[in-house]
Amino acid sequence: MMIITCPWCGPRNETEFHYGGEAGVAYPADPGVLSDEEWGRFLFVRSNPKGVLHERWSHNAGCRRWFSVHRDTVTHEVGPAR
């Protein structure tokens, strides 16, 4: 079980957190001007790397705050957002 460091509460067990997928995928300023393809890419396409991923977590069983970390999808090493 991974230890994830919540920026508010400190290091806690993975089971206290909820995964939120890749970070840095901003909601478009005006979705109405996007083409179907651009909107589809925003909705469904993520980088899915084998290696370090910048991703979002929420400390659901703790302070309920969202934050992001860098996690290696192969080794599960978790580090702070860079």
Partner 1 sequence: MSQPFRHPDRGRVDRTRPLTFRFGDRTMTGFAGDTLASALLANGVHEVARSVNLGRPRGIVTAGVEEPSAVVQIEAPFPEPMLTATTVEVYDGLVAHPLRGQGWLAPEPDSARYDAVWAHCEVLVVGAGAAGIAAAADAAASTGDRVILVDERPPRPSEVPAGVRLLTRTTVVGYYDDNFLVAVQRRTNHLGAAAPLEQARERLWRIRAGRVVLATGAHERLIPFPDNDRPGIMLAGAALAYLRDYGVLVGRRALVYTNNDTAYRVADELRGAGVDVVVADTRADAPAADLPGARLSGVLGDRRVTGVRVAGRQLDVDAVLVTGGFSPVLHLYSQAGGRLRYDDGLGALLPDGCRQRVEVVGAAAGVGLPRCGPPPMPEPSDADGRTFVDLQRDVTIAEVRRATGAGLRSVEHVKRYTTAGTAHDQGKTSGLLTSATVAAALGSSAAEVGVTTFRPPYVPVSFATLAGRDRDDLFDAARLTPIHDWHLARGAPFENVGQWKRAWYYPRDGEDMAAAVTRECRAARTGVAMMDASTLGKIDVQGPDAGEFLDRLYTNVMSTLAIGAVRYGVMCRLDGMVFDDGTVARLTADRFLVTTTTGNAAAVLDWMEEWLQTEWPHLRVWCTSVTEQWATVALVGPGARGVLARVAPDLAVDVESFPFMRWRDATVAGLPARVFRISFSGELAYEINVATWHGYALWQALMTAGADAGITPYGTETMHVLRAEKGYPIVGQDTDGTVTPDDLGLGWAIRKSTKDFVGRRSLSRPDTARSDRKHLVGLLPDDPTLLLVEGAHIVGHTPLGPPPVPYLGHVTSSYPSVALGRTFALALVTSGRQRIGERLYATVNGTLIPVEVTSHVLYDPEGARRDG
Shortest Å distance, C-beta 13 to partner 1: 8
Q: Does 39 bind partner 1 (CB under 8 A)?
A: yes
Shortest Å distance, C-beta 23 to partner 1: 9
Shortest Å distance, C-beta 1 to partner 1: 4
Select from 26, 15, 13, 20 the least CA-distant residue to 53.
20
> Which of 27, 48, 50, 51 forms a contact with partner 1 (CB under 8 A)?
27
> Which of 76, 79, 80, 81 forms a contact with partner 1 (CB under 8 A)?
76
Alpha helices, DSSP H only, in the chain? 36-44
Distance CA 26, CA 45 (A): 13
